[in-house]
Structure 1
Amino acid sequence: MRNFLLLGLTIALLGVQEIKAQEHRFDPPWNTPPESALNFTVPGIDNIPDLYGDIENPQLTVFFAGNQFMVVDDLLASFKQEYPQYERIFVETLPPGILAKQIKGGSITIGNLRITHKPDIYTASKRAINEMADYFSHTQVYCYNNICLMVPKGNPANISTLNDLGNDKVRISMPNPQWEGIGEQIKASYRKAGGEQLVKKIMEDKVNDGSTYLTKIHHRESPMRVLYG
């Protein structure tokens, strides 16, 4: 009985140590939170970083492509300064493919929260916008961007070209084409750089052995995987 109790105590203590060892120092949200009477954000548990602003009866609802969370603070501040009548704005910064499914289905559930807001504005790639053209009265190109590689500080794996990503020792984190259209563009870049051999290596072989990780929410998972190593 004594041995059993000691073993139980050891397991319990190890469990506590593992919980304390969890790191949240880089966890989102990375935006400036709106002012409120109470800010109850618990890193790693209650943080909902891709829902922003006033969810109750918003005057304007915007669905941004996920990686545009970086401009939300400055953009909304400037917008409200120019259009002060818009006091309650609700923003989502989820992957465009997820936002498209939300628009088509009329709702989304995140954790225990169900959202049924319809966007006044939806931003996404040209292909995604074309596929959603029937849902909006007007579409307009407003920016262009380039695909780039993000590596840990100092570039320890000496990545210089896309072909370097075929190395068995290189771990890759990239958008899953199933969720984000940019994933197909990345595959096309692999094909242009190294042909079907590189595409197969990265998108099949390395996915199977775990060295290529296909994200569900690339603009959060990939930076965190780099930050936490």
Structure 2
Amino acid sequence: MKKIISCIGAGIITIAVQAQEHRFDPPWNDAPEAAVNFTVPGIDNVPDIYGDINDPQLVVFFAGNQFMCVDDLLAAFKKQYPQYKRVLVETLPPGILAKQIQGGSLTIGNMRITVQPDIYAAGKARVASMNTLFSDTATYAYNSLSLMVHQGNPKKVAGLKDLSREDLRISMPNPAWEGIAKQIEKAYIAAGGERLLEAVMKTKVADGSTWLTKIHHRESPLRILNEQSDVAPVWLSEVLYQERMHHPVESIKIPASENIRATYVIAKLKHAIHSCAATDFFNFMQSDEVKRIYRKYGFDTDG
């Protein structure tokens, strides 16, 4: 009998641990309504594909760090343009989205997506590097960097210079496809010169204490929340969003002398399949309503 109770007890502990592992998992927004909702944390969960993948009337690729704005943006856009019922949005890293545009397809798990965007929205430099693909562009928002740490700042991180410390585990965007990484590297140089950059991006990568993410706007918060990393350079809007959800994180301010200001640009594809919808969304993204939404989530805007 004791053995049976012991086994049952172990099973309960295992279930509790598994639940604990996924309690912070995205999606962090309200999922679209459907006849069946079959989201399984850690198994079947695709938080960066939004809306209607079948016969969309508009396809938008947003750089991933704007994921928190999507629900409000789509609700406001559909209210202003009620003729658009089916909208598909991807919020993956901008470099991955660029490769998807160039290659024509994307696979996540066993799902292959071949839709092409009507609108691409990302950092100014990324959009400029792809300018031959676009018929029109416009600036719509700005952002700055912050450090995300666990609530209470248990490792007493004071600023960027501390990231060279041997005892700190860092969650860092991968420069290979995440635009924020290049901006963070500039901040490292401003704060501690090439020595700090080398410590974080070479020495600590080699010893495993700098973790290079594949999708930082999901991975970095989760690594902080699950105590796998101690500090993560992120966009200010990202840490504010986690605080907004009452997740146990907090922000360490990066002074203006070490910080950068990112500029977000929206672009309409020259060969947009849904050209009229693309034009409507392009104009919508420059409206006062959109500025209000972005400011709500910690971005800056003109006006």
1:43 maps to amino acid: P
The corresponding residue for 1:3 is none
Q: Secondary structure at the match of 1:164?
A: helix
1:73 maps to amino acid: D
The corresponding residue for 2:120 is 122
- Superposed CA RMSD in Å reads 1.7
Q: Deviations over 1:38-87 (max 9, x none)?
A: 11111110110010100001000010110111001111111111100000
The structure with the greater share of residues assigned to strand is 2
In the alignment, the residues of structure 2 paired with residue 97 and residue 18 of structure 1 have an alpha-carbon distance, to the nearest angstrom, of 38
The corresponding residue for 2:56 is 58
Q: Secondary structure at the match of 1:178?
A: coil
Deviation (angstroms), 1:14:
8.1
Deviation (angstroms), 1:21:
2.5
Deviation (angstroms), 1:131:
1.0
In the alignment, the residues of structure 2 paired with residue 71 and residue 188 of structure 1 have an alpha-carbon distance, to the nearest angstrom, of 26
TM-score normalised to structure 2 length: 0.69
Q: Deviations over 1:4-54 (max 9, x none)?
A: xxxxxx9xx989965762221111111110011111111110110010100
Q: Deviations over 1:144-169 (max 9, x none)?
A: 11011111101111112210111111
The corresponding residue for 2:17 is 21
In the alignment, the residues of structure 2 paired with residue 142 and residue 121 of structure 1 have an alpha-carbon distance, to the nearest angstrom, of 13
Deviation (angstroms), 1:184:
1.1
In the alignment, the residues of structure 2 paired with residue 15 and residue 122 of structure 1 have an alpha-carbon distance, to the nearest angstrom, of 47
Matched, 1:155 2:181: no
Q: 1:133 aligns with which of 131, 145, 151?
A: 131
The corresponding residue for 2:99 is 101
Q: 2:88 aligns with which of 87, 90, 95?
A: 90
Q: Which runs of 5+ in 1 are unaligned?
A: 1-9
Instruction: Summarize the Cα distance change of 1:206–1:31 in structure 2 as closer, same or farther, 3 Å threshold.
Output: same
The corresponding residue for 2:273 is none
Deviation (angstroms), 1:94:
0.2
TM superposition outliers: structure 1 runs of 4+ over 6 Å: 13-17
Q: Secondary structure at the match of 2:137?
A: coil
1:170 maps to amino acid: L
Instruction: Summarize the Cα distance change of 1:208–1:85 in structure 2 as closer, same or farther, 3 Å threshold.
Output: same
Instruction: Summarize the Cα distance change of 1:16–1:106 in structure 2 as closer, same or farther, 3 Å threshold.
Output: farther
The corresponding residue for 2:217 is 219
1:200 maps to amino acid: E
Greater mean alpha carbon deviation, residues 87-96 or residues 131-140: 131-140
Q: Which runs of 5+ in 2 are unaligned?
A: 1-6, 228-303
Deviation (angstroms), 1:212:
0.7
The corresponding residue for 1:196 is 194
Q: Secondary structure at the match of 2:145?
A: coil
In the alignment, the residues of structure 1 paired with residue 207 and residue 172 of structure 2 have an alpha-carbon distance, to the nearest angstrom, of 15
Higher RCO (CA-CA < 8 Å; seq separation 6+): 2
8 Å CA contact 1:31, 1:69 repeated in 2: no
Instruction: Summarize the Cα distance change of 1:210–1:18 in structure 2 as closer, same or farther, 3 Å threshold.
Output: farther
Q: 1:187 aligns with which of 175, 185, 188?
A: 185
Question: How many aligned positions are there?
Answer: 218
In the alignment, the residues of structure 2 paired with residue 39 and residue 151 of structure 1 have an alpha-carbon distance, to the nearest angstrom, of 33
Q: Percent identity?
A: 63
